[in-house]
């Protein structure tokens, strides 16, 4: 492709994206396609000769858009918000245009230094003190894996340089709550701790980790000769946005010389509001922390912010090349390849830079406050509505609810079928998209508010859709 064609197609594509965003609200939120439907639209063999992109552009609507679930739709209430702002889209274009590889400072100094700047801006925005240092990872799952690797190496006296975990006399143990995200278990398994050495601790009625049960589990492990190694606090669990007691967990972690990692994948964004920071009280003394600007903030996936208090330790664990002998402070520059698992890295920082230039801290704060208020509005409706039950506190933007018609009272299996049918009815209507999920064995429906385009009227509409679906299911319509 020559630059004249690129320029022409590029202009058309920007128009296409803007048109798509403008008509988003009229599209069904959840993709209605059946498995294999999209694949069938594509040739089995790769194109033998290149024909340019004109055909691809024409086919975007018929071959792609129907097969996309629209995460930026104002009635997207499933999983968690994953906002890709216009500014972030443009930044991705710039990063791709530059095609820079930022694995070392020298391979693209701007990629490294812009990352240092914006990660420090972000640190200030969420109220972390000086001394915390951030690095961009692809996802929270990767960041948590790094945290557990760092914990493992701290507890084992850098066993990776000798026989690894295989050479240790006693097993190292990881602790998190039963409501912790599956990425914690995945990281513990991948880091070699083994399922037998992962404790998922019981939670209280607000679905937060019970510190008494944690202390009990640690005591049992120590009595059996096992070594407590890492503790993961979840601030904003995936199911209900429950908040683990970080400060109390820190005391336990320090008493047992454990690493404390905080998973605030969704909730970290709320910390741009000073009034929310009580939710992670004590966090400043944790060892590591992850949150995803690619969720509620507005920086398109993927962009995960991993903060540590001791970057030297991270570098020592992650670097296996000649720069191994350098400390993060010694070097005049940062080589981010030594702060992460892969070698190569994209110029992701430009997305946060563009996003913040466009929205500003105050713009972001106003939107997060709007979402919190919308969630409280829905909470109040559910609390007042007969036949509806709220399943969890609402500290952030997710409301967990279920319909409990009198006729089904107490029959959990029937209630599960009923609420799954309500969620399916709403989702298949295309009007909104929500996630049914289980909470301590009980079926519920999660309404996760926070798409950039979601106004109160969309929350009112999903509440009406839920009530209509419940009526239709109850009457057998
Ligand atoms: C609390 C929590 N932690 C971790 C994750 C995983 O995030 P990622 O997809 O960035 O790995 C999620 C995603 O839903 C989450 O809600």
From the CB of residue 475, how many other CB atoms can be counted at a distance below 10 Å?
A: 7
Eight-state DSSP code of residue 226: -
Asked if 229 and 256 count as a contact pair (C-beta separation under 8 A), the reply is no
- Is the pLDDT assigned to residue 326 strictly greater than 60? no
Q: Could you tell me if 73 and 24 are in contact, meaning their C-beta atoms sit under 8 angstroms apart?
A: yes
324 pLDDT more than 50: no
Average pLDDT over residues 395-412: 93
Probe target for ligand 1 pocket from 80, 141, 280, with the most ligand atoms within 8 Å of CB: 141
For 331-385, write each residue's pLDDT tens digit: 789 999 999 999 999 999 999 999 999 999 999 999 999 999 999 999 999 999 9
DSSP state for residue 90 in the 8-state scheme = H
DSSP states of 290-308 as a string? EE-TTTTTSPPSS-EEEEE
Looking at residues 311-324, what average pLDDT do you find?
A: 80
pLDDT band at 322 (very low <50, low <70, confident <90, very high): low
Q: Over the stretch 92-149, which tens digit does the pLDDT of each residue have? A: 999 999 999 998 888 899 999 999 999 999 999 999 999 999 999 999 999 999 999 9
- pLDDT for 477: 62
Give CA–CA dist 151/146, Å, rounded: 9
> What are the tens digits of pLDDT across the range 411-446?
999 999 999 999 999 999 999 999 999 999 999 999
Largest CA distance in the chain: 72
Residue 104 has a pLDDT of 87
- pLDDT by residue (tens digit) across 220-242? 999 999 999 999 999 999 999 99
Close Cβ partners of 43 (under 8 Å, ≥ 6 residues apart): none
pLDDT digits (tens, 9 = 90+) for 151-198: 999 999 999 988 899 999 999 999 999 999 999 999 999 999 999 999
pLDDT single digits (tens) 266-309 = 999 999 999 999 999 999 999 999 999 999 999 999 999 999 99
| Apex 316 CA angle, 124 and 117, nearest 5 | 25
Residue 395: other Cβ atoms inside 10 A: 20
Ligand 1 atom closest to the Cα of residue 80 is 14
Position 325 scores a pLDDT of 39
Calculate how far, in angstroms, residue 430's C-alpha sits from the geometric centre of ligand 1. Answer: 25
What residue ranges line ligand 1, CB within 6 angstroms? 80, 139-141, 181, 183, 234, 236-238, 263, 265-266, 292, 304
Residue 347: per-residue pLDDT: 97
Ligand 1 atom at minimum distance from 143 CA? 11
Q: What length does the chain have? A: 477
For a pocket test of ligand 1, which of 207, 265, 294, 295 has the largest count of ligand atoms closer than 8 A to its C-beta? 265
87-91 own/partner pairs: CB under 8 Å, 24+ apart: 87/298, 87/354, 87/355, 87/357, 87/358, 87/359, 88/298, 88/299, 88/300, 88/351, 88/354, 88/355, 89/17, 89/300, 90/354, 91/350, 91/351, 91/353, 91/354, 91/355
CA of 475 to the centre of ligand 1 (A): 38
Secondary structure letter of residue 131 according to DSSP: T
Of 178, 182, 183, the one to substitute when testing ligand 1's pocket (max ligand atoms within 8 A of C-beta) is: 183
pLDDT at 55: 85
Average pLDDT, the chain: 95
Nearest ligand 1 atom to the CA of 234 is 1
Closest by CA position to 268, among listed 80, 3, 77: 80
Residues 136/102, Cβ–Cβ less than 8 Å? no
């Amino acid at each position: 492709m020559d630059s004249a064609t690129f320029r022409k197609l590029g202009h058309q594509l920007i128009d296409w994206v803007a048109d798509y965003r403008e008509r988003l609200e009229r599209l069904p939120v959840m993709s209605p396609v059946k498995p294999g439907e999209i694949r069938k639209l594509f040739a089995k063999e790769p194109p033998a000769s290149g024909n340019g992109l004109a055909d691809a552009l024409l086919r975007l609507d018929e071959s792609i858009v129907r097969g996309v679930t629209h995460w930026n739709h104002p009635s997207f209430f499933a999983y968690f918000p994953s906002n890709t702002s216009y500014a972030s889209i443009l930044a991705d274009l710039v990063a791709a245009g530059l095609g820079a590889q930022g694995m070392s400072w020298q391979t693209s100094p701007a990629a490294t230094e812009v990352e240092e700047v914006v990660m420090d801006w972000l640190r200030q925005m969420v109220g972390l003190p000086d001394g915390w240092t951030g690095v961009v990872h692809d996802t929270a799952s990767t960041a948590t894996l790094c945290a557990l690797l760092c914990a493992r190496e701290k507890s084992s006296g850098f066993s990776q340089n000798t026989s690894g975990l295989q050479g240790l006399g006693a097993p190292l143990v990881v602790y998190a709550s039963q409501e912790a995200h599956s990425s914690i278990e995945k990281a513990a398994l991948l880091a070699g701790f083994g399922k037998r050495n992962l404790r998922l601790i019981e939670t209280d009625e607000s679905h937060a980790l019970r510190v008494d049960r944690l202390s009990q589990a640690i005591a049992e492990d120590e009595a059996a000769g096992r070594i407590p190694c890492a503790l993961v606090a979840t601030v904003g669990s995936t199911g209900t946005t429950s908040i683990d007691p970080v400060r109390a967990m820190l005391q336990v972690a320090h008493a047992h010389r454990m690493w404390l990692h905080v998973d605030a994948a969704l909730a970290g964004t709320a910390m741009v509001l000073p009034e929310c920071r009580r939710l992670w009280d004590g966090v400043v003394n944790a060892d590591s922390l992850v949150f995803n600007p690619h969720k509620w903030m507005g920086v398109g996936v993927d962009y995960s912010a991993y903060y540590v208090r001791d970057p030297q330790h991270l570098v020592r664990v992650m670097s296996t090349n000649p720069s191994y002998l350098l400390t993060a402070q010694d070097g005049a520059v940062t080589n981010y390849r030594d702060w992460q698992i892969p070698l190569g890295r994209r110029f992701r920082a430009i997305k946060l830079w563009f996003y913040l230039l466009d929205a500003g801290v105050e713009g972001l704060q106003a939107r997060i406050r709007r979402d919190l208020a919308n969630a409280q509005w829905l909470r109040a409706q559910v609390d007042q509505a007969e036949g509806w039950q709220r399943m969890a506190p609402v500290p952030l933007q997710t409301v967990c609810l279920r319909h409990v018609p009198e006729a089904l009272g107490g029959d959990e299996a029937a209630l599960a079928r009923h609420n799954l049918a309500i969620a399916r009815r709403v989702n298949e209507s295309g009007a909104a998209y929500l996630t049914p999920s289980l909470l301590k064995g009980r079926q519920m429906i999660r309404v996760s508010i926070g798409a950039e385009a979601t106004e109160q009227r969309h929350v009112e509409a999903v509440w009406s859709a839920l009530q209509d679906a419940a009526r239709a299911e109850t009457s057998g319509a």
